[in-house]
Amino acid sequence: MAEQSWIVWPFVFLLGASIGSFLNVVIYRWPRGESLVFPPSHCLSCGARLTWADLIPVFSYLLLRGRCRHCGKSFSIRYMLVEAATGLLAVASVYLFGWTAYAAGVFIAASALLVIFFVDLDHMIIPDQATVTLILVGLAFDGYRLVHLGSKEAIVFAERVGTHSYAVYLPRSLVGLAMAGGLFLLIAWVSRAIFHKPAMGMGDVKLAAAMGALLGPGYLFLSYFILSVLLGAGIAVVLIMLRLKRRGDYVPFGPMMAVAGVIMLLGGEWIAPWILGWYTP
């Protein structure tokens, strides 16, 4: 990537954080079935409308020490954390992938995963709109690869019909979607048959299918799957040790799948070989 002045990064961060400000609205209002644009942002306690001075991401929160300037009611620090996280995702996307359409796709997908993380944590549902966004980005990545790398990036099946040989080209995103969705559907079905209670919801299955569309059916998805399970098991053990959950309690898997998804989108090229190195001499 070409050298560029450090001065761009604060702007990229602020742009990302402004989008994070909108993601906060999505995370709060979408599960409640409220409009994303109306009414405009307001204090949930006194109803005072927030002006531009309250809406500078991250900084307004720090300046007002997280309080409403009208009634003094404190806002959850989570709003600022979501803004800061989105700002950092924007910086990471541009830093790693340059000023490319690919970087934009990574940022959009990571933002959708951020929404999934919090909505699933709060309401134990994964919005279909977010999952569909991930699938659309996966399809767009296929288009991007087709333009920049040609058909050699597709999945190729050699087929022989009678005396004729054919090469069948399939888009990575759709093969990944079918494989990942099928795998998780199987896991959900088997675990329900064994434990007689649903260990995994349909939202998780759809999220896995969408990650398959993003990462393709190969090693990137396999590493993603291993990372999700390790994160999920690790977090569950920590929660049980801290006595926040008991053995047998339900710990939502979706948020861990979302974290693993962001990690793989940003660092998959380094992480997949590392994880797979555990199995190969």
Tell me whether residue 28 or residue 225 sits nearer to Zn ion (CB atom).
Answer: 28
Quick one: which segment of 6-14, 39-47, 114-122, 174-182 binds Zn ion (CB under 5 A)? 39-47
CA distance 220 to 269: 8
245 binds Zn ion (CB under 5 A): no
Contact 222, 230 (CB under 8 A): no
Among the listed residues 91, 119, 94, 108, the one whose alpha carbon sits nearest the alpha carbon of residue 214: 108
Among the listed residues 200, 228, 235, the one whose alpha carbon sits nearest the alpha carbon of residue 124: 200
Which of 4, 45, 76, 129 touches Zn ion by CB under 5 A? 45
71 binds Zn ion (CB under 5 A): yes
Among the listed residues 58, 20, 64, 24, the one whose alpha carbon sits nearest the alpha carbon of residue 41: 24
43 binds Zn ion (CB under 5 A): yes
Shortest separation between residue 46's beta carbon and Zn ion, angstroms:
3
Tell me whether residue 45 or residue 151 sits nearer to Zn ion (CB atom).
Answer: 45
Give the interface size with Zn ion as a residue count (CB under 5 A). 8
Shortest separation between residue 48's beta carbon and Zn ion, angstroms:
5
Residues 73-102 that bind Zn ion (CB under 5 A): 73
Quick one: which segment of 67-75, 138-146, 169-177, 256-264 binds Zn ion (CB under 5 A)? 67-75
Tell me whether residue 60 or residue 223 sits nearer to Zn ion (CB atom).
Answer: 60
Tell me whether residue 10 or residue 72 sits nearer to Zn ion (CB atom).
Answer: 72
- Torsional class of 33: left (φ above 0), alpha (ψ -120 to 50), beta (otherwise): left
Which of 1, 46, 55, 186 touches Zn ion by CB under 5 A? 46
Quick one: which segment of 57-65, 72-80, 95-103, 128-136 binds Zn ion (CB under 5 A)? 72-80
Shortest separation between residue 50's beta carbon and Zn ion, angstroms:
9
Footprint of Zn ion on this chain (CB under 5 A)? 43, 45-46, 48, 68, 70-71, 73
